[in-house]
A and B are shown apart, each in its own frame.
Chain A
Amino acid sequence: AQSVSQHNHHVILSEAASLELGCNYSYGGTVNLFWYVQYPGQHLQLLLKYFSGDPLVKGIKGFEAEFIKSKFSFNLRKPSVQWSDTAEYFCAVKPNNAGNMLTFGGGTRLMVKP
């Protein structure tokens, strides 16, 4: 069975700092990759996804993620964070032959100080 690791459980940054959240997965086959975000008091929502093609994908609110197949990684980045980016971020993986069954990582709680 596949698994997803998010190594940073808590991250604290000041506004305008750059962000990189790590995500590694274990699965030998073709995968689809996702980042979800949960803002305080709100639902989980999709930030960005990778299915195929350009391994650098851009999502909403200036976020991007890079799929590095050789490293089984899909790290999330943002060049300059804002206070409003304070949220919990979840990486998720779906093997290509798994219907729509997502496996989530444990999440990274980001706090941005104004």
Chain B
Amino acid sequence: EAGVAQSPRYKIIEKRQSVAFWCNPISGHATLYWYQQILGQGPKLLIQFQNNGVVDDSQLPKDRFSAERLKGVDSTLKIQPAKLEDSAVYLCASSLNRGGYEQYFGPGTRLTVT
């Protein structure tokens, strides 16, 4: 079974530029998550989708971050404009459904904002 795919793996941008990350979850997984992991910290949930609908985006900085999962499969996370403090690894995860299902994580995208 193929795992969660993410691209790009690394991205370096200057502050005030925009950037987008892509995630393809495990086939058949209804729930998709985006996490932000700042160096030295644990992952922090940014947004959770159930199929193509947003379940929770309470920790997403909506003035600059946006995410979509239009067809209920793959998803994109965008930052516009980026700030220095956005430097982090952005992890995508998926699970079969909500509730107690195991979350499977992708390799992450390491973003450096200079």
Q: Which one of A13-21, A61-69, A70-78, A96-104 contacts B? A: A96-104
Q: State whether A104 and B48 are in contact (beta carbons under 8 Å apart), knowing that A43-B107, A51-B100, A99-B98 are contacts in the complex.
A: no
* In the bound complex, CA of A46 to CA of B98 (Å): 16
Q: For the complex, would chain B's binding face be called helix, strand, loop or mixed by DSSP majority?
A: loop
Q: Is A43 in contact with B100, judged by CB distance below 8 angstroms?
A: no
What is the size, in residues, of chain B's interface with A at 8 Å between Cβ atoms? 27
Among candidates B31, B41, B97, B99, residue contacting A106 with C-beta atoms closer than 8 Å: B41
B61 at the interface (CB under 8 A from A): no
Q: Is A101 in contact with B106, judged by CB distance below 8 angstroms?
A: no
Q: State whether A43 and B44 are in contact (beta carbons under 8 Å apart), knowing that A100-B31, A100-B95 are contacts in the complex.
A: no
What chain A residues lie within 8 Å of B91 (beta carbons)?
44
Q: Is B43 in contact with A104, judged by CB distance below 8 angstroms?
A: yes
Q: Is B42 in contact with A106, judged by CB distance below 8 angstroms?
A: yes
Q: For the complex, would chain A's binding face be called helix, strand, loop or mixed by DSSP majority?
A: strand
* In the bound complex, CA of A21 to CA of B16 (Å): 40
Among candidates B42, B48, B93, B102, residue contacting A99 with C-beta atoms closer than 8 Å: B48
* In the bound complex, CA of A94 to CA of B41 (Å): 18
Q: Is A104 in contact with B44, judged by CB distance below 8 angstroms?
A: yes
Q: Is A100 in contact with B107, judged by CB distance below 8 angstroms?
A: no
B56 at the interface (CB under 8 A from A): yes
What chain A residues lie within 8 Å of B42 (beta carbons)?
4, 6, 90, 92, 104-107
Chain A residues with CB under 8 Å of chain B are: 4, 6, 32, 36, 43-46, 49, 51, 90, 92, 94, 99-107
